Amino acid sequence: MAQEVGRSCWISGVHAVQETLAARGADVLELWIDRDAAGSSKTEALVRQGRSAGLKARLVGRRELDRVAGGRHQGVAARVAARGRQDLGAYLQGLSGAAKKDSVLVALDRVQDPRNLGAIARSAANLGAAGIIIPDRRSSPVTPVAVSASAGAIQRIKVFTVVNLAAALAACREAGFWIYGADASGEPAWKTSLNRPLVLVIGSEGAGMRRLVREACDAVVSIPQTAAGVESLNASCAASVLLYEIRRQGAA
């Protein structure tokens, strides 16, 4: 758990704080450590990270940490300035030919569970995606819960918030990206040549991709399942499998 405070928020957990300090050290405003955990190898490493970012760790009691970060903080919390809005158009225009060649982005069509956003971001960061595109309405923003669910990995990639996802996908296509949507009705992903640069579109947890978003895709791909399987995979599980296949094909 975590708490939002004006234009900043508290995040908690060793990995989430480590990744935030590594990726956004200048945005970390305070670093709190449970005084009873001070001196351990993990907290000492965080103290050194904070010092290199110009922060002095504050030793506090567990009750104070519980107040700002809830009960699952592993003895560590950090207050972080709100992330500035990143411009997808400027990013696309600034990509060099070499950088664009292998670029992978993930677009989320109204994925509303911050835990799914965090899990997808973690897979995206670990499997080579450069960023995530999310609509600014009816979608989970980057909340402290999403940061924790990603174990801080979401701090290492770009997050683009857009007004109209279908229009954003059209802009990506104009910039040379292929657009692949994920849906059970599509062709199996491993029978499809996933050309790069590309955007992988993951639909909402219940309804999948909206019609206009689906129509913006160059192709729709699926993950074959056994007859005994459930109706569909969770959005974050589907994203992980497809991101792995994208990486596998890129390495082949």
pLDDT, mean of residues 15-44: 93
Q: What are phi and psi of 35, to 5 degrees?
A: -60, -25
Measured CA to CA, the distance from residue 88 to residue 107 in angstroms comes to 12
The reported pTM is: 0.90
Contacts 24+ apart (CB under 8 A), 15-18: 15/151, 15/152, 16/147, 16/148, 16/150, 16/151, 16/152, 17/46, 17/76, 17/77, 17/78, 17/152, 18/45, 18/46, 18/49, 18/152
Measured CA to CA, the distance from residue 155 to residue 29 in angstroms comes to 15
In whole angstroms, how far apart are CA 155 and each of 23, 33, 114? 6, 20, 14
Residue 53 corresponds to which tokens in the numbers above?
Answer: 């970012």
Residue (of 118, 111, 126, 119) closest to 202 by Cα position? 111
Residue limits of CATH 3.40.1280.10 in the chain:
88-251
- The pLDDT, as a whole number, for residue 234 is 87
pLDDT, mean of residues 143-148: 92
User: Which CATH class name applies to 88-251?
Assistant: alpha beta
Partner residues linked to 178 by β-bridges:
198
Please determine, for residue 147, whether its predicted confidence score (pLDDT) is greater than 80. Answer: yes
**What is the per-residue pLDDT across 165-219, written as a single tens digit (0 to 9) for each?**
999 999 999 999 999 999 989 999 999 999 999 999 999 878 899 999 999 999 9
Q: Are 133 and 248 in contact (CB under 8 A)?
A: no
**Superfamily (CATH H level) for 4-81:** Ribosomal protein L30/S12 (3.30.1330.30)
Q: For residue 21, name the pLDDT band (cuts at 50, 70, 90).
A: very high
Please determine, for residue 4, whether its predicted confidence score (pLDDT) is greater than 80. Answer: no
Please determine, for residue 42, whether its predicted confidence score (pLDDT) is greater than 80. Answer: yes
**DSSP letter at 135?**
E
**What is the per-residue pLDDT across 46-91, written as a single tens digit (0 to 9) for each?**
999 999 999 999 999 999 999 998 778 999 999 999 888 899 999 9
Q: Which of 29-33, 73-77, 137-141, 228-232 is predicted least confidently?
A: 228-232
SS3 85: coil
Residue limits of CATH 3.30.1330.30 in the chain:
4-81
pLDDT, mean of residues 112-121: 96
Q: For residue 163, name the pLDDT band (cuts at 50, 70, 90).
A: very high
Residue that wins the pLDDT comparison between 99 and 106? 106
Instruction: Look at phi and psi of residue 231 and say left if phi exceeds 0, alpha if psi is from -120 to 50, else beta.
Output: alpha
